[in-house]
Amino acid sequence: MQELFGQKTKKQIKAIGLISGGLDSILAAKVIKDLGIKVIGVHFNMPWGCGNKIKASASAKQIGIPLKTFQLDEEFLELVRNPQYGVGSVMNPCVDCKVYFLKKAAQYMKEVGADFIFTGEVLGQRPMSQLHNSLNLIENESGLKGYLLRPLCAQLLKPTIPEERGWIDRTKLLSINGRGRRSQLDLAKHYHITEYTPAGGGCLLTEPHFAPRLKDAFKYGYRDIKEITSLKWGRQFRINKDFKAFLGRDEEENKLLKKYAHETDYILQLHRKNGPTLILKGPKPSLKILSLCGGLIQGFSKLKSLEPQKIEYCQANLKKDKKYLTPSILSEQQIQALAISPV
């Protein structure tokens, strides 16, 4: 890769930084920017975590750097389905993800004529992807050997080419280590950085309630990224191999599920619209299946203890063609048996 980079004066040096929306990545960007480097942030927008596109944009704006967003697609889902380096505690292929992001960032680096890439990784912070061996593996597999800088823990790692060539003053880099957050929080206060996602959130692939949803989608199939995105909302039920139901938990989720419904999906709700909305996915459902979905709606409404309530339904692309049904009354055991993840 060295032939891609000529000797440059410091004013010409340009770096690409991965910006997730969390604190570490924006701190790393601030450290590099304050060393006189022109910084361009890149954010990889996943269908569900890691990161936060809104916070990534806000934090980049707060420290005065541009941000380029890349929407992840089917190629990324295939990586999640078949990771080369395994998964963490649930379904999170952290090493594969990081390699993938950095390869994409390296392509963009060439496009814009940047000189190196940096991340907000901290040595020892995550057991799967931020130990010495993993950091080295990620650097090598991404094709960035020598050109990948981790400013927050750089003094604990071998010098990179940007440091060796004098583009970066190594003494101004940091030596943060471990899972504690005190150092980062103190830096955020020092730099007056307030726009970031608090620690504790992150990738839904690490969440035990979410992994079964994605496994179900991989097993039974899905239409596109739009459907994968909707996995993060509502309660979800596997009716049979052909039919799946998404049930909103509040008004915001009701709206999002309807927005992301496909044209041939069915939309069901209480006639008075005083309960959850259900999106049914599958070809030409029978009245029995529709009535069962009506039972799920009433079972999670304030009217669950009353007699069967009137349910209206229609295809998403035929909203004026409403029909009505009487729901099946479902027991708690029946509901739990249909749930893809705990409800």
Query: pLDDT tens for residues 276-325?
Result: 999 999 999 999 999 999 999 999 999 999 999 999 999 999 989 999 99
Question: Distance from CA of residue 191 to its chain's centroid?
Answer: 27
- Reported as a pLDDT band with limits 50, 70 and 90, residue 4 is very low
Residues 126 and 34 in one domain: yes
Domain for residue 188, yes or no? yes
Sheet of 116-118, strand order = 67-71, 38-45, 14-18, 116-118, 148-149
Residue 45 located in a structural domain? yes
Pair (324, 303) in one structural domain: yes
Q: Last residue of some domain: 181, 203, 225?
A: 203
Band the pLDDT of 201: cuts 50, 70, 90.
low
What is the pLDDT at residue 10? 47
Q: How many structural domains compose the chain?
A: 2
Residues 6, 140, single domain; the answer is yes
Phi, psi of 84 (to 5 degrees): -75, -35
Global pTM value: 0.88
Integer Rg of the chain from CA: 24
Q: How many CB atoms lie within 10 A of CB 198?
A: 9
Calculate the average pLDDT of the chain.
93
Residue identified by tokens 């459902």 is 285
Residues 149 and 214 in one domain: no
pLDDT of residue 126: 80
* pLDDT of 8: 52
Tell whether 186 and 299 lie within a shared domain.
no
* Same domain membership, residue 215 and residue 192: no
Bridge partner residues of 42 (DSSP)? 18, 68
Query: Which strand (E) or helix (H) includes residue 26?
Result: helix 23-33
pLDDT of 3 higher than 90? no
Same domain? 142 vs 253: no
Q: Domain boundary residue among 160, 177, 203? A: 203
The DSSP output letter for 143 is: T
Question: Per the domain annotation, does 270 fall within a domain?
Answer: yes
Percent of the chain having pLDDT more than 70? 96
pLDDT at 6: 46
Residue 343 is assigned to a structural domain of this protein: no
Task: Specify the pairing of strand 278-281 against strand 266-270.
Answer: antiparallel
Given a cut of 80, whether residue 109 has pLDDT beyond it is yes
What CATH number should be reported for the domain holding residue 174? 3.40.50.620
Of 216-220, 222-226, 241-245, minimum mean pLDDT range: 222-226
Per this entry, what is the length of the chain? Answer: 343
Instruction: State the residue range of the domain holding 34.
Output: 2-203
Asked whether residue 187 is assigned to any structural domain, the reply reads yes
Rounded CA-CA distance 245/78 in Å is 24
CB-side neighbour CA atoms (13 Å) of 331: 3
What is the pLDDT averaged over residues 130-144? 94
At 49 the pLDDT is 66
Pair (105, 172) in one structural domain: yes
No. of helices (H) and no. of strands (E), the chain:
12, 11
- pLDDT level of residue 2 (50, 70, 90 thresholds): very low
Looking at 151, 173, 203, the residue that finishes a domain is 203
Residue type, 36: G
Q: Residue 343 above 90 pLDDT?
A: no
SS3 content of the chain, % helix, strand, coil (to 5): 40, 15, 45
Say if residue 92 is in the same domain as residue 215.
Answer: no
Q: Which of 202, 172, 185, 195 is nearest to 94 (CA)?
A: 202
Find the mean pLDDT for residues 53-78.
Answer: 95
Same domain, yes or no: 197 and 216:
no
Confidence of residue 202 (pLDDT cuts 50, 70, 90): low
Give the confidence band of 88 by pLDDT, cuts at 50, 70, 90: confident
pLDDT digits (tens, 9 = 90+) for 139-178: 999 999 999 999 999 999 999 999 999 999 999 999 999 9
Instruction: Kindly tell me if the per-residue pLDDT of 52 is higher than 80.
Output: yes
C-beta of residue 208 within 8 angstroms of C-beta of residue 52: no
Per-residue pLDDT of 255-273, as tens digits, reads: 999 999 999 999 999 999 8
C-alpha pair distances (Å), 288 with each of 237, 285, 329: 15, 8, 12
Q: Are residues 228 and 195 in the same domain?
A: no
Are residue 249 and residue 189 in the same domain, yes or no?
no
